[in-house]
Structure 1
Amino acid sequence: MSIGFFVGKNLTSDGSTLLGGFGHEPSSHWIDIVPAQQHPRGSTIQVGVTENADLPGELIDIPQVPYTNKYISSTYSEFAGFPPPLTNGGLNEHGVAGRDIWSPSRSELVEMTPEPQRGLNYSDLARIAMERAATAREAVEITGELINTYGFATYGGNSHLFADKDEGWVMIEYAGGQGLWAAERLGPDDVRVSYPGYIHHFPVDFQNNDNYMGSDNIIEFAREQGWWNPDTDHPDYMNLQDVYGEPFPGEGVDKADDHFTAVRVPPEREEELKAMAPVSLEDMLALVRDPRWSNDRSGYGQVAHLRPHVPNSLQTLWLAVTGAVTTPYVPIPIAADPCAVPPEFVQHRYMTKYADSEFLSSNYAPQEATRYATREFKRLMYFTSEHPVYFLPYVTGMMECFEQMLIAERRAIEEAFLSLMQSGQQDAAIQLISANVHQRLFESLCLGMQLTNTVEMETRRLFGIRMPEDNKKPGETTPPWSQEMIAETIDEMVTCYDPRLDIYPRPHGYYNQYAVCGYYPSMHTGQMFS
């Protein structure tokens, strides 16, 4: 379960296209800057899912292309039993951004998925789009043709959002082993919230319409199954969400009963987003951070800022290494060198698939010895989530003051980069960008550790540390803190949302006054915020 926000360039404050969001994965997360690479003739890549996936499958090999693009990715190790490492997209050297978002297919399609299934999985498609596409449209064409040729290996239905500086595309991939997929163009005056991903009206003659793409069987298969009838339904289009999808999970859910599910109605979120226009970069940063959906299940936070009048080397992915509700964003231009990412922000063993079953290779000992940024920001989330009314405004204010400093310095850094490039000093230009990314990532970690220390100290002083309740079965002797730590219900989810702070969508910097003060008043007085 992921979320994606698209805003076309005519609805933003600076004429950029904005694409933000994150994935929900129970996993470690880290940052990769993957360099452009040449591949020998005859090279192949392995794609698909194994017998360990929720819907079991077999891996297959497909041809690799001679050249793959440089791209920035949030990488992780576990979702639905799929083989790691996994990605939901990111930003590539051509200024193409990608987001992967869940999109459940109707139950009949899930049930007809063959076992074992074969084809590319959602992460394969997202990665290959970043590696091969030069435009958002091309991302759909490439991934669609791969599904046509090799099939799609699913966990129950999926979607992608692709964007460049001019347009976006939403693409839905359906379960069932039939190679069903469809895509719709998003123009400069459009917004789209995928939560989950969806397409409504899809023309029957889509092959003659530049705003749509799909598999050759997308219309006929629905007719064969009796899910759509041109004689009784609309003859010119098919509502793909009604025909192939599931109802939005939040429909009919009362916010007071389950706010997390209730907000998952994309048209409602889109109206909220339209009302924000013109949407700024800061608006999108705050929206992805919004605690209505950013919680322990949000693996990271990303906002691709795709500007029309900068070279592709300066297109920038604002990235929070784990849930942005308690993690600062840092801007990473595509020009940054892979070594710009400090070792604290790359793979560690905390929550990484298979890490608990084998010992560490000495090759990774120095990397593992560093503090793990994801773990440090998770600590801040876990402390803040216990008493968000006390601590979330202070934490948010501190992070957003830091981010506003990063925004303020962009112009000078980019002008210096362009000056170096124009004078033929390409290596110095890349070093300038890379040094800034490295420094700011490390500073964000230091800020996170400082905030964690403050919130922990105040938690101990005001409340103490709450220990888990005993949930052992009769006859067991294991103390509660040594029992299984898995959340089994939505009520056990770690979240910083509190209805008393329900000022959403919240402007970026709304809580900066608490950062200026250096503390949040209720932390010292013990008074609840109202």
Structure 2
Amino acid sequence: MTVGATETAEMPGVLTEIPQVKETARYITSNYSEFEGFPSPLTNGGLNEHGVAARDVWSNSREELWDMTPTDQSGPSYSDLSRIAMERATTARDAVDILGKLINEHGYTTYGGNSHIFADENEGWVFVEFSGGEGLWAAERLSADDIRVSYPGYIQDFPVDAIKGSNPDYVGSPNLLDVAAKQGWWTPGGDTINLQKVYGQEFPTGPFNVGVDADPTDPSPYRNPISLEAELESMDALSLQDMMRLVRDPRWSDDRSGYGQVAELRDDITDSALRTLWVATTASVTAPYIPVMIGTDDVPVEYSQHRYLTAGASANYLSPEYAEQEATEYATQTFKRLMYATCARPKDYLAEVTDAFEGMETSWIRQHEEVIADAQKLYTDGDSKGGAQVLTSLTHETALDGLALGGYLLDDILARSAADGGIHRPDVDVPDGTTASARSLSMELDGATSRDRMNCDLGGGWADGSTADRQGKYGDPANVPDFSANAAKTAANMNGAALLPLWIALSGVAGLGLGAGGLWLLTRRRSA
């Protein structure tokens, strides 16, 4: 398999080949097509048939490590490591061991520092890779009672004895201590090394108290993971719905969010086909969570790859093989449009959009419980084909109903905005000598902070507060409007052909071939 980055990456590298395993696991992921210098399809993790969930999250290394990174760096990238973990890991700890061994043997291609969270039904692990070309990495175990927010990913106090393999809760690259000492960033002698201080950068935002809204001038609001962990600690026992709302929180679910995912890790599942990843196909602030099970055979064509947001598509003609696929409505585009329409006037529309999707998801969660019970019986009876049909039907039904509801909300909001002052015309400077109108100029954002990006944050989340403020009730089906007219438009695709979609991919590969945000992980334990 080919791994790494090219010379066009911000931190250039060279592509290399490493061995693929003979058999890979089936997994659910979201793929995307553009990160400069990193070949697509790219991924940040997902959920595999063994119940290992993963999410890749940025974690900036100190600038001296950036400067040390060679321009011909090689080895697996963040995306390669995410995909390999999904293809090979049978437990969260297994993912750590696999990635650590790969980096030790082949090196690591960085874009500035990165991290992963891996979790199964028993434990979680944080895995951080540092820049510098030295193959530096470290991992920390999380118990069932730990709360960790990777925003960015981090590890603080790391026991020095872990390098010798004598600590069950920490592991790291063999040179983790030596490089720090050689560079003069750390003096040996204590029992621990603070990896965040030694190898990382300060968090983008300083600490803040629970319930305090961010400073309106803060360019990176709420990006202090320790403060967000305290917010979660202040909440009552967390539910699946709480985690869905947390990923949807307008404080961070914005135009940069490619998708939202919640992995539901249960210890009462008797067949791997029943494992579920709840997937919002784009920023979940204005998109519903679709239940996708390992046993789901495919997703509707509307959720497969389209040319919108596919790198390089505008410079090429469409292959006739994809004509009808491209002609269908694209879920990612519909929900992106809904975000732009809603977030342009969030005080007017955000609450009702949230209520509609939460109300629909409440019904889906109940339906999911029933379907899982039915499918579990079929798998137990040896009818795996029947089980897969039940699971696939649920994914198709919820995906198409969610899309129909999104389309209904979009049409309604645009009509109301047009009636209430009209659709906003861009107020931008037209350069001297330009004959094009303001509407025809570049739409590119001049600025890259989260404050600049399109978002629906009303100061501390929704008008009535953050996820913590709103805990206790979730979603009333009565708040779902009648979207039946939109549903009729997509009903014909309920039995669409099996595809390898770009944005929600189901992958399982035998042989030597390749397999096909923030993730929040929730472990649900039930008594027998």
TM-score tier after normalising by the smaller chain length: 0.7 to 0.9
Q: 1:106-137 deviations in whole A, cap 9, x for unaligned?
A: 00001111012111100000000000000000
1:424: Cα distance to partner? 2.0
Which residue does the alignment assign to 1:93? Answer: 49
Which residue does the alignment assign to 2:137? Answer: 181
Kindly tell me: are residues 508 and 77 of structure 1, through their superposed partners in 2, closer, same or farther at Cα, counting changes over 3 Å?
farther
Q: Is the 8 A contact 1:400 1:509 kept in 2?
A: no
1:80: Cα distance to partner? 4.0
Which residue does the alignment assign to 1:398? Answer: 356
Which residue does the alignment assign to 1:377? Answer: 335
Kindly tell me: are residues 502 and 52 of structure 1, through their superposed partners in 2, closer, same or farther at Cα, counting changes over 3 Å?
farther
What secondary structure does 2:139 align onto? strand
C-alpha distance in structure 2 between counterparts of 1:510 and 1:376, whole Å = 24
Give 1:205-224 correspondences, 5 Å limit. Answer: 205-206=161-162, 207-224=165-182
Q: Stretches of 4+ moved more than 4 A in 1? A: 508-514, 516-519
Q: 1:206-242 deviations in whole A, cap 9, x for unaligned?
A: 02101111100001110000000025xxx11000000
Determine if the alignment matches structure 1 residue 485 to structure 2 residue 443.
yes
Q: Is the 8 A contact 1:251 1:262 kept in 2?
A: no
1:49: Cα distance to partner? 0.4
Q: TM-score when scaled to structure 2?
A: 0.86
Q: Is the 8 A contact 1:393 1:511 kept in 2?
A: no
Which residue does the alignment assign to 1:16? Answer: none
What secondary structure does 1:465 align onto? coil
Give 1:4-153 correspondences, 5 Å limit. Answer: 45-153=1-109
- Asked which structure has the greater RCO (Cα within 8 Å, sep 6+), the reply is 2
Give 1:318-467 correspondences, 5 Å limit. Answer: 318-337=278-297, 339=298, 341-467=299-425
Which residue does the alignment assign to 2:204? Answer: 249
What secondary structure does 1:246 align onto? coil
Kindly tell me: are residues 116 and 517 of structure 1, through their superposed partners in 2, closer, same or farther at Cα, counting changes over 3 Å?
closer
Q: Is the 8 A contact 2:135 2:173 kept in 1?
A: yes
Aligned identity (percent) is: 48
C-alpha distance in structure 2 between counterparts of 1:437 and 1:328, whole Å = 12
Kindly tell me: are residues 462 and 512 of structure 1, through their superposed partners in 2, closer, same or farther at Cα, counting changes over 3 Å?
farther
1:54: Cα distance to partner? 1.2
Structure 1, 344-353 or 256-265: larger mean CA deviation: 256-265
1:484: Cα distance to partner? 1.1
Q: Is the 8 A contact 2:61 2:112 kept in 1?
A: yes
Q: 1:28-48 deviations in whole A, cap 9, x for unaligned?
A: xxxxxxxxxxxxxxxxx1010
Which of the residues 237, 249, 261 maps onto 2:192? Answer: 237
Q: Is the 8 A contact 1:295 1:323 kept in 2?
A: yes
Which residue does the alignment assign to 2:510? Answer: none
1:364: Cα distance to partner? 1.4
Structure 1, 465-474 or 316-325: larger mean CA deviation: 465-474
Kindly tell me: are residues 82 and 508 of structure 1, through their superposed partners in 2, closer, same or farther at Cα, counting changes over 3 Å?
farther
1:100: Cα distance to partner? 0.2
C-alpha distance in structure 2 between counterparts of 1:252 and 1:319, whole Å = 30
1:334: Cα distance to partner? 1.1
Kindly tell me: are residues 508 and 518 of structure 1, through their superposed partners in 2, closer, same or farther at Cα, counting changes over 3 Å?
farther
1:410: Cα distance to partner? 2.1
Q: Is the 8 A contact 1:282 1:508 kept in 2?
A: no
Q: Is the 8 A contact 1:260 1:293 kept in 2?
A: no
Kindly tell me: are residues 509 and 458 of structure 1, through their superposed partners in 2, closer, same or farther at Cα, counting changes over 3 Å?
farther
Q: TM-score when scaled to structure 1?
A: 0.86
Which residue does the alignment assign to 1:473? Answer: 431
C-alpha distance in structure 1 between counterparts of 2:245 and 2:324, whole Å = 35
Q: Is the 8 A contact 2:158 2:195 kept in 1?
A: yes
C-alpha distance in structure 2 between counterparts of 1:99 and 1:516, whole Å = 31
Give 1:195-206 correspondences, 5 Å limit. Answer: 195-206=151-162
Determine if the alignment matches structure 1 residue 158 to structure 2 residue 90.
no
What is the RMSD of the two structures over their aligned residues, measured on CA atoms?
1.8
| Counterpart residue identity of residue 443, structure 2 | M
Aligned length: 470
C-alpha distance in structure 2 between counterparts of 1:63 and 1:125, whole Å = 13
Gap regions ≥5 residues in structure 1: 1-44, 520-530
Q: 1:79-117 deviations in whole A, cap 9, x for unaligned?
A: 243211100000000000000000000000011110121
C-alpha distance in structure 1 between counterparts of 2:201 and 2:110, whole Å = 15
Which residue does the alignment assign to 2:457? Answer: 497
Q: Is the 8 A contact 2:207 2:224 kept in 1?
A: no
Q: Is the 8 A contact 2:241 2:474 kept in 1?
A: no
Determine if the alignment matches structure 1 residue 313 to structure 2 residue 273.
yes
What secondary structure does 1:205 align onto? helix
Q: Is the 8 A contact 1:393 1:514 kept in 2?
A: no
Q: Is the 8 A contact 2:4 2:75 kept in 1?
A: yes
| Counterpart residue identity of residue 238, structure 2 | V
Which residue does the alignment assign to 1:271? Answer: 230
What secondary structure does 1:192 align onto? coil
Q: 1:446-491 deviations in whole A, cap 9, x for unaligned?
A: 1100111111111111131111123333333332111111112235
Which of the residues 215, 221, 236 maps onto 1:262? Answer: 221
Q: Is the 8 A contact 1:286 1:507 kept in 2?
A: no
Which residue does the alignment assign to 1:5? Answer: none
Q: 1:119-168 deviations in whole A, cap 9, x for unaligned?
A: 11000000000000000000011011111111110110000000000000
C-alpha distance in structure 2 between counterparts of 1:448 and 1:507, whole Å = 24
| Counterpart residue identity of residue 197, structure 2 | D
Gap regions ≥5 residues in structure 2: 484-528
C-alpha distance in structure 1 between counterparts of 2:239 and 2:219, whole Å = 25
Q: Is the 8 A contact 2:44 2:79 kept in 1?
A: yes
1:512: Cα distance to partner? 4.3
What secondary structure does 2:355 align onto? helix
Which residue does the alignment assign to 2:125? Answer: 169
1:183: Cα distance to partner? 0.2
